[in-house]
């Protein structure tokens, strides 16, 4: 049996993960990974004349641009 035929189990639901996906470092199946990604809300915003900034809350984003009303 080759490595390509080996099946890996999802740590969330116990379903099968494709070898190529597991080899990339994913420990969840596509469906569980999709659900987990939908729960995480963040963005990367460029700062004026600076670098990029990781933003995980809407309040932080509002503070970066106080002139904007919405």
Query: 20-69 pLDDT, tens per residue?
Result: 999 999 999 999 999 988 887 777 888 777 788 888 877 877 777 767 66
Q: Is the pLDDT of residue 70 over 60?
A: no
Is there a single domain that holds both residue 44 and residue 58?
A: yes
33 and 47 inside one domain = no
- Same domain as 31, residue 7: yes
Local structure of 45: helix, strand or coil: strand
Task: Report whether pLDDT(12) > 90.
Answer: yes
7 shares its domain with 35: yes
DSSP string, 52-68: EEEE-SHHHHHHH-TT-
**pLDDT at residue 7 above 80?**
no
Domain count, the chain: 2
pLDDT of 47: 79
Is the domain of 48 the same as that of 58?
A: yes
The yes-or-no verdict on residue 18 having pLDDT over 60 is yes
- For residue 62, CA distances in Å to 16, 38, 43, 55, 68 come to 42, 22, 13, 10, 8
Residue 70, domain extent: 40-70
Eight-state DSSP code of residue 13: T
């Amino acid at each position: 049996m080759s490595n390509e035929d080996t099946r890996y189990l999802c740590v969330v639901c116990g379903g099968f993960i494709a070898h190529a996906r597991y080899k990339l470092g994913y420990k969840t199946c596509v469906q569980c990974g999709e659900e987990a990604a939908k729960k995480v809300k963040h963005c990367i915003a460029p700062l004026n004349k600076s670098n990029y900034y990781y933003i995980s809350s809407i309040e932080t984003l509002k503070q970066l641009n106080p002139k904007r009303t919405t």
